[in-house]
Amino acid sequence: MAYRQLQQSNRVAGAPTASRQIAPRVATGRRALHVAAVAEAEKTAATTRGGAASVPAPVDIANKLRYLFGRNGDYTNADAYHGTAWSVREKLIDSFNKTHEHWRKEDPKFIYYLSAEFLMGRSLTNTVYNLGLQGEYADALNQMGYEMEKVADAERDAALGNGGLGRLAACFLDSMATLDLPGWGYGIRYKYGMFKQALKNGYQIEQPDIWLTSGNPWEVRRDDVKFEVGFGGRVERRKVNGKEVTVWTPSEKVIAQAYDNPIPGFDTPTTSNLRLWDAMPLTEFDLGAFNAGDYDRAMLDRERAEAISAVLYPNDSTPEGKELRLKQQYFFVCASLQDVLSRFKAVHGTAFESLPDKACFQLNDTHPTIAVAELMRLLVDVEGLDWDQAWTITTKCLNYTNHTVMPEALEKWPVKVMAKMLPRHMEIIEVINEGWTRWLAGHLGDLKSEERAKRIAAMSIIHENPWNKEEMLVNMAYLAVVGSSAVNGVAAIHSNIVKDEILNDFYQIFPSKFQNKTNGVTPRRWLAWCNPELAALITDTLGTSEWINDTEKLAGLRAYASDKSFQAKWSAVKKAKKAKLAALIKKIHGDDVNQEALFDIQIKRIHEYKRQYLNVLSIIWRYKQLKKMSPEERRKAVPRVCVIGGKAASAYDMAKRIIRLVTAVGDVINRDPDTKDLLRLYFLPDYNVSLAETIIPAAELSQHISTAGTEASGTSNMKFQMNGCLIIGTWDGANIEIAEETGVDNVFVFGVRAEEINQLRKERKNFKTDPRWDELMRDIEGGMFGDKDYFKPLVDSVNNMKVGNDWFLLANDFAAYLEAQEEVDACYKDQAEWLRRSIMYTAGSGKFSSDRTIREYAEDIWHVKPSRPSA
């Protein structure tokens, strides 16, 4: 039997343990219970004492509370969480140390995943499950009068990411550790993560995410690991021993302080690492200034330094030009590369030609792309390699993943900003670009000189700002492509768009650089741990829990898809999860919802291209139809509870209006006595990883309705699929591959195809809108949901028939969408068919495990092999 399964026995899938069943739940009895449990456990401990590991969990939890927090007695769930987390942390660190001792001895090639975002969510549940300690800690808490689930609920999310890109990085770390791949994540330890979203009168307001206030048990501060990072200043050429060297003297320096976040693999002794950097001042205090009575000036350095790792940038509708963001990017890249090189040198000295055999870096989008110039700087200026040798090493070590087709999201930094903040890097980029364009000129030698010049200009890393001819820009995607061995998109269709459109010029030059790596999600967090009831049913049915790290085994469920008794069990699990979501809706909105209704969910960042607006329009249309129906007709209607959740970037005005439209429509629909039993619409505020863990298992229909060709992949679609939730979606991103794996007929696919988009945009002014669409526009404009003026720009953005308007083609897809929604209703009426499809979704989700994705990266791009410590 596999390593940790032995320890977990059959508890993996969340079967209740004996003690959990008998545990009293009365809060008032907790203290007595707690004291008794600890005393009992201490007796046992007396015979087994002999190291921290042998201390029984209840005693250990109590000890942590006593000695770390100075607490004694009647703890809240939050206290119990801290005690438990600090206890679990020790086992995690033991595993971390063992793994790294092993890797130090073996010296395997490492993959370093450089990412400005890691959206980790909560750690307690994941850690105890992955370490095989779930049963032990659930029992301990039970004996003390607590429930693991409630205790785990007290943890704050680590929300160091915006959305898909950051959560993908977190899933990848889980898979890398689970597959025993030597690899670390590197990023920034933001003091404030993704903002908290609250609603005030139906409008989004943003609040700071102060996530570190109660301490973070999942990190280890490494006081011995810090590096200097410089900014600004001047660059000089000097002769040293007859050789010309370049010396950069920064005008500002800060310290990057390492914090390690151990990442436990599942069913393996491997625990890898996410190293996050915190920015600190070089000197604690300018004592001179302080003594002179200038306290403000003394504090200035500290504030300036700390600002670098203070906040996560929420991705905006206009992401350009924020100097602090470039500073953040360079800060973490510089510290990470120095860290890797210093470990390399400790073992291999200056044999840098073998660096590509020991280390490779994945650039998660363009955010860490300054790594191209920084690795060159470290190798040439600091280590004294010649340029060509350094360039060979650099391009062998780096790889780049593109995550978006949105042109405005492709980072370009003004040369002026780059030259001021990173003067040496700007020089290096210029030299790279000179070499690149010179090489291109040779490569394109057969072309006529005019055509050649055009092609070269189009591929130059440094180019004019098309909106402002005065300004020159550094195109970070181009730098990443030129500086990398491999470039990949994140779903089949997206990788084709990268090759055929976004980076087509480069694809023509280097066809073999371009790859596809379809995204995946970790089946641990997104099925096994967030839906233990379904996991238990799957394990029972397949007779094994091996599907948790071999999701292809889920295909075995296909044999049961039409089995009535299996369908009944499948449906019972969904009902239980729906009850939980209903309880959450009740808690937030105070309403009881019909739990027999179809639970219809759209959760993701709010963006015009994701088309939450289209969803709302169809909900309004449904409402209007219901209003018109006779009581007899209403009895036949399929009741729905619609849920929309997601954050709008603070500066993204249109997205905020969309949120307000959702809440305004909800206010009308949910109170209408004619329809409220048949239709509800709720906006769930502050959508985040833990909320997703509650919502996704309860969902029956999920919406992935981006304009074809705009959503690079989507990853929540995979999470819904794993949890047996049907998809209504466009032929976009990973929806396509999901449909292929699930059976296209099982998915509600609608709308225009990516190939048609450009033409349709051009023809926009001739487009004849559907009369139902026109009616809805008049309704919103006319104030059916109040706030007429506020909604006006929303109506205008899609309703003027001119080129450039309705850029995301809501009107074009509207009729097809309503039709697909009718198919949904018809299918839901046939519960046997609905359940069959639901089972087919989970059965078809095998491909979308991030284990598969990571295996592909490891084999095709990283060339990294597993290295597992002994148990």
Residues involved in catalysis: 403, 604-605, 610, 715, 719
Q: What is the DSSP string of 616-664?
A: HHHHHHHHHHHHHS-HHHHHHSPPEEEEEE-PPPTT-HHHHHHHHHHHH
In the complex with ligand 26V, the residue whose CB is nearer, 825 or 856, is 856
123 or 715: CB nearest ligand 26V: 715
Could you give the C-alpha distances from 793 to 619, 656, 790, in angstroms and in order?
A: 20, 11, 7
Q: Which two tokens stand for residue 402?
A: 């593109």
Q: How far is the CB of 213 from ligand 26V (least distance, A)?
A: 28
Residue closer to ligand 26V, measured from CB, 319 or 645? 319
**Region of 4-12, 320-328, 400-408, 426-434 interacting with ligand 26V (CB under 6 A):** 400-408
638 belongs to the binding site for ligand 26V (CB under 6 A): no
Among 404, 522, 797, 853, binds ligand 26V (CB under 6 A): 404
Among 59, 152, 165, 371, binds ligand 26V (CB under 6 A): 165
- Sketch the per residue contact string, 168 through 207, with ligand 26V: x for CB under 6 A, - otherwise: x---------------------------------------
Give the span between the Cα atoms of 79 and 77, in whole angstroms: 5
Of 764, 341, 825, whose CA–CA distance to 621 is shortest? 825
| Binding-site member from 403, 455, 499, 764 for ligand 26V (CB under 6 A) | 403
The CB-nearest residue to ligand 26V is: 164
Cβ-contact 594, 673 below 8 angstroms:
no
Write out the two tokens for 278.
């915190």
Dihedral angle computed from the Cα positions of residues 627, 631, 637 and 638, in that order, rounded to the nearest 10 degrees: 90
Give the pair of three-digit tokens for residue 125: 């549940």
Work out how close the CB of 129 gets to ligand 26V at its nearest, in angstroms, rounded to a whole number. 24
Task: At 116, list the tokens.
Answer: 């400005």
Nearest residue (CB) to ligand 26V, 490 versus 581: 490
DSSP-derived 3-state class of residue 355:
helix
- State in angstroms the smallest separation of the CB of 555 from ligand 26V: 24
Where does this chain touch ligand 26V (CB under 6 A) — which range of 298-306, 352-360, 401-409, 827-835?
Answer: 401-409
- Which of 41, 102, 32, 38 shows the shortest CA–CA distance to 66? 38
- In the complex, minimum distance from the CB of residue 406 to ligand 26V, in angstroms, rounded to a whole number: 4
Q: Are 545 and 13 in contact (CB under 8 A)?
A: yes
- Give min distance, CB of 308 to ligand 26V, in A: 20
Tokens of 316: 């905006």
Region of 311-319, 470-478, 761-769, 828-836 interacting with ligand 26V (CB under 6 A): 311-319
Which lies closer to ligand 26V via its Cβ, residue 519 or residue 797?
Answer: 519
Longest dimension (CA), the chain: 95
Q: Do 461 and 474 form a contact (C-beta atoms < 8 A)?
A: yes
Q: Which distant-in-sequence residues (6+ apart) come within 8 Å of 594 by Cβ? A: 639, 641, 677, 680
Smallest separation (angstroms) from ligand 26V to the CB of 316: 6
* Residue nearer to ligand 26V on the CB measure, 168 or 370: 168
Output the smallest distance, CB 791 to ligand 26V, in A: 22
8 A C-beta contact, residue 459 and residue 505: yes
Nearest to ligand 26V of 148, 490 (CB atom): 490
Ranges within 508-527 binding ligand 26V (CB under 6 A): 519
Cβ neighbours around 594 below 10 Å, total:
16
Shortest gap between Cβ of 609 and ligand 26V (angstroms)? 7
Concatenating the DSSP letter of every residue in 360-403 gives EEEEESSTTTTHHHHHHHIIIIIT---HHHHHHHHHHHEEEE--
Please, which of residues 69-128 interact with ligand 26V by CB under 6 A?
none
408 binds ligand 26V (CB under 6 A): yes
Among 79, 286, 365, 851, binds ligand 26V (CB under 6 A): 365
Nearer to ligand 26V, 216 or 488 (CB): 488
User: Which of these segments, 81-89, 159-167, 718-726, 837-845, binds ligand 26V (CB under 6 A)?
Assistant: 159-167
Q: Whole-angstrom Cα distance, residue 453 to residue 440?
A: 10
Query: What's the closest the beta carbon of residue 365 comes to ligand 26V, in angstroms?
Result: 6
Q: Which of 314, 319, 666, 846 binds ligand 26V (CB under 6 A)?
A: 319
Exposed / middle / buried, residue 322 (Cβ in 10 Å: 0-12, 13-18, 19+): middle
Distance between CA 558 and CA 550 in Å, rounded? Answer: 16
Binding mask 702-741 for ligand 26V (x = CB under 6 A): ---------xxxxx-----------------x--------
- Which among 205, 192, 128 is positioned nearest to 156, based on CA atoms? 192
Min dist. Cβ of residue 317 to ligand 26V (A)? 5
Identity of the residue, 168 or 794, whose beta carbon is nearer to ligand 26V in the bound complex:
168
With CB under 6 A, what is the number of residues at the site for ligand 26V?
Answer: 21
- The smaller minimum CB distance to ligand 26V, of residues 81 and 172, is found at 172
Q: Please choose, from the candidates 727, 707, 716, the residue with its C-alpha nearest in 3D space to the C-alpha of residue 493.
A: 707
d(C-alpha 730, C-alpha 274), whole Å: 35
Among the candidate windows 346-354, 402-410, 561-569, 831-839, which touches ligand 26V by CB under 6 A? 402-410
CA nearest neighbour of 215 among 36, 78, 94, 49: 78
Interacting span for ligand 26V (CB under 6 A) from 160-168, 201-209, 386-394, 536-544:
160-168
Residue 119 or residue 429: which is nearer to ligand 26V going by CB? 119
Name which position in 255, 282, 406, 654 contacts ligand 26V (CB under 6 A): 406
Please answer whether residues 139 and 19 qualify as being in contact, where contact means their C-beta atoms are separated by less than 8 angstroms: yes
Q: Which of 163, 423, 520, 645 binds ligand 26V (CB under 6 A)?
A: 163
Tell me the closest approach of the beta carbon of residue 170 to ligand 26V, in angstroms: 11
- Cα 165 to Cα 114, 324, 401, 692, 729, distances in angstroms: 12, 20, 10, 15, 20
Single out the residue of 164, 265, 269, 639 in contact with ligand 26V (rule: CB under 6 A).
164
Contact in structure between 406 and 371 (CB atoms under 8 Å) = no
Residue (235 or 406) nearer to ligand 26V, CB: 406
Give me the residues paired with residue 803 across strands: none
Q: Does 289 bind ligand 26V (CB under 6 A)?
A: no
Q: How far apart are the first and last CA of the chain?
A: 13
Footprint (CB under 6 A) of ligand 26V, residues 431-490: 490
**Least CB distance to ligand 26V at residue 860 (A):** 17
Q: Which of 36, 199, 255, 409 binds ligand 26V (CB under 6 A)?
A: 409
User: Which of 38-46, 163-171, 255-263, 674-682 is the region at the interface with ligand 26V (rule: CB under 6 A)?
Assistant: 163-171
Q: What is the four-CA torsion angle of 44, 50, 51, 54, rounded to 10 degrees?
A: -30
Which CB atom, from 515 or from 519, has the smaller least distance to ligand 26V?
519
Instruction: Give the nearest distance from C-beta 116 to ligand 26V in angstroms.
Output: 10
Q: 495: closest CA among 411, 400, 408?
A: 400
Taking CB under 6 A as the criterion, which residues in 483-502 touch ligand 26V?
Answer: 490
Please calculate the CA angle 168-134-270 and round it to the nearest 5 degrees.
55
Which residues of the chain form contacts with ligand 26V (CB under 6 A)?
163-165, 168, 315, 317, 319, 365, 403-404, 406, 408-409, 490, 519, 711-715, 733
